Structure 1
Amino acid sequence: MKICFVVNSVETETAGTTVYLMHEAFKRKHQVYIMGVGDFNYNNNQELTVHCKTLGKNAKSETPKEYINSLKSKKAKSEKISVKDLDVLFIRNNPTEEEAGRTWAEHSGIAFGRLVQQEGVLVLNDAFALSNAFIDKLYFEELPSSIKPASLITRKKEDILQFFEDHKKKMILKPLEGSGGRGVYLIDKNEKNLNQIIETLTEKGYIIAQEFLPAVKDGDVRVLLLNGKVMEKDGHFGIIRRVSGEGEFRSNISQGASPNSTEYTEEMKKIVEITAPKLIRDGLFFVGLDIVKDKLIEINVLSPGGMDSFPYLGLPNFSDQVIEAIERKLEYKKNYGDKISNRELATMD
């Protein structure tokens, strides 16, 4: 197959989950391309092309890190190809990691992804579903309240202060749009700058006030779902516990948290069982759930990560399961054509 991965920028991409998936596809002798969100072209004849990089058929690369370094080097070939020549477009750029001055890039991957999808190319996750869930914290609020902490989305200070009072003067404040632990505050009765924090956050948009979960001291768990199911191989599951550093309540790896192995508990299974039907219906193929004990605190539908931590925890490399799932989807597409929609195909086992 010919598969193209969309990232924020080829130059800044590191050996994370996306590159692990690319490297697995490369090892399986597929033609793999990488492009940034700024590499789409759409002319007035409605021909959609992309500028991308790839390695030749005889190229060798033993590790994901070696692979991405080769793609950034002179070994890589730069090509301009019609999207109609692709079998799969995998949208993996993370809008919340865009640098200042690149607001144009935040929606670009999904917006062009919709056009690519209309050309009959398999797009993962489904581009229209991604549009719907672009503000993933708002998409998260569509899930049943039984698996979520109490929360409030608002820009009104008086409502946030009331939420604070109602929850024993302890809460989490964070922007509605964003990830990676940036702009997230733990507020308690000793906080002297609450008004200033609220003003700073509301300048950027809506705020989420969320119930504080004491169990967060033990970190959170990232659960990776494929076709609405937890990845499983040789008795191991695609989950990691992220433990915060000393004096830090955020469990993001980017904020210094450490990855650890963990069990797949009954509480996690219940959350997955409740969440999965919606993800499957919406065409969300590859998703990350962040769980604290018996509560789902976030859902990542745009570019879930964590697979690069698996080798260090003695877990299998689940990349092969992801690529095999895509291979099966293309076989279904070959047999049934447009009788199965992209959204249905995206989460079909």
Structure 2
Amino acid sequence: MKICFVLNKIEKEKAGTSVALMTKAHARGHEVFVMGVGDFNFEYGGTITLNTTKVPKSTTTKSPKKFLEILQGAKAKKKKVVSTDLDVLFIRNNPTEEGAERHWAEQSGIAFGRMIQSQGVLVLNDAYALSHAFIDKLYFEELPKEIKPASIITRNKEDILTFWEAHDKKMVLKPLEGSGGADVFLIDEHEKNINQIIKTISDQGYVIAQEYLPAVKDGDVRVLLLNGRVLEEKGEKAIIRRVSGEGEFRSNFKLGATADSSELTPAMKQIIDLTAPKLIKDGLFLVGLDIVKDKLIEINVLSPGGLERFADIGLPDFTDTIIESIERKLFYKQKYGGQLANKVLATMY
């Protein structure tokens, strides 16, 4: 297959989930193209072309770090590709990581993804689903209330303070559009800068005030779902516990959290069982769930990651399973012609 990965910027990419997936696709003999979110071209007559970068076909490395080194180096080849020549467009850029100077980049990948999807190219995750879930913390609020902590989304300081009072003066504040644990605060009764913190976050946009869960001190659990099911490979499940660093309540790897193993508990299974039908209906192929005990605290649909951390706890990287699933979707697409909609194919097992 011909598969193109859309990143924020190739030169800024790290050897994480996206690179692990493209390395595996290349190793399986597929033609892999890589582009930044600013590399789409819409030409007269309705043709969409992509300015892509390719690792030489002769490259045999299985190491994502080595693959990325070649991709970002002088050996990589530049190629303009017509969108309809692709089999798959895999949208992996994360809009929340764009700075103010690249505001234009936030919606571009999804917008062009919708256009390319309408041309018959398989787009993952489904581009219309990504549009609907673009603010994933707001999409999160559409899920059943029994699996979520209490929360309020607002820019009104008084409403936030009322919520704080109603929850024993202990809450978590975070921006509606953010990632990686940036600007996430634990606010308790001893916090003297609460007004300034609310202003700092609300200056960026909407604020989420969320019920504090005491179990967060033990970290959270990231569960990766593929086609609405727990991602599995070689009998192992893609579940990893993120243990917060000393004196830190946030359990993001970017903030020093460490990896540990975790079983699939009955509470996690209930959360997955209640979340999966919506993900399948919407066409969300690869999704990350962040769980604290019996509550889902975040859902990651834009660029879910963490595959590179599973080796830390002796698990496979799960890339074979993901690429095999994409191969099956193309097989179904070919056999059924145009009968299966993109969002159906996107979550077809």
TM over 0.5: yes
Measure the CA separation in 2 of the matches of 1:236 and 1:219.
Answer: 21
- Counterpart check, 1:244 vs 2:244: yes
CA RMSD in angstroms, aligned pairs only: 0.8
CA displacement at 1:236 relative to structure 2: 1.6
Measure the CA separation in 1 of the matches of 2:218 and 2:116.
Answer: 42
Equivalent residues of 2:226, 2:286 under 8 A apart:
yes
Measure the CA separation in 2 of the matches of 1:56 and 1:169.
Answer: 57
CA displacement at 1:204 relative to structure 2: 1.2
Measure the CA separation in 1 of the matches of 2:99 and 2:177.
Answer: 14
CA displacement at 1:92 relative to structure 2: 0.3
- Deviation digits for residues 240-274 of structure 1 (CA, Å, limit 9, x no counterpart): 11111111000111111111111111111110000
The residue correspondences of 1:218-297 to structure 2 (distance < 5 A) are: 218-297=218-297
- Per the alignment, residue 103 of structure 1 pairs with 103
- Per the alignment, residue 125 of structure 2 pairs with 125
Q: Which runs of 5+ in 1 are unaligned?
A: none
The letter of the residue matching 1:162 is T
Equivalent residues of 2:50, 2:83 under 8 A apart:
yes
The residue correspondences of 1:1-349 to structure 2 (distance < 5 A) are: 1-349=1-349
The letter of the residue matching 1:97 is E
- Deviation digits for residues 36-84 of structure 1 (CA, Å, limit 9, x no counterpart): 0000000231110000111232222231110011111121110001001
CA displacement at 1:333 relative to structure 2: 0.5
CA displacement at 1:200 relative to structure 2: 1.5
The letter of the residue matching 1:313 is I
- Deviation digits for residues 122-169 of structure 1 (CA, Å, limit 9, x no counterpart): 000000000000000000000000000000011111111110010000
Equivalent residues of 2:242, 2:252 under 8 A apart:
yes
Measure the CA separation in 1 of the matches of 2:62 and 2:203.
Answer: 47
Measure the CA separation in 2 of the matches of 1:228 and 1:178.
Answer: 24
Secondary structure class of the residue paired with 1:340: coil
TM-score, normalised relative to structure 2: 0.99
Measure the CA separation in 2 of the matches of 1:108 and 1:101.
Answer: 14
Measure the CA separation in 2 of the matches of 1:249 and 1:174.
Answer: 13
Secondary structure class of the residue paired with 1:22: helix
Equivalent residues of 2:9, 2:37 under 8 A apart:
yes
Secondary structure class of the residue paired with 1:141: helix
Count of residues paired in the alignment? 349
The letter of the residue matching 2:10 is V
The letter of the residue matching 2:68 is I
Query: Where has structure 1 moved over 6 Å in runs of 4 or more?
Result: none
Secondary structure class of the residue paired with 2:171: strand
Measure the CA separation in 1 of the matches of 2:317 and 2:202.
Answer: 41
Measure the CA separation in 2 of the matches of 1:338 and 1:300.
Answer: 29
The sequence identity of aligned pairs, in percent, is 64
TM-score, normalised relative to structure 1: 0.99
Measure the CA separation in 2 of the matches of 1:179 and 1:31.
Answer: 31
Equivalent residues of 2:240, 2:261 under 8 A apart:
yes
Measure the CA separation in 1 of the matches of 2:235 and 2:260.
Answer: 17
The letter of the residue matching 1:140 is F
Secondary structure class of the residue paired with 2:89: strand
Q: Which runs of 5+ in 2 are unaligned?
A: none
The letter of the residue matching 2:312 is Y
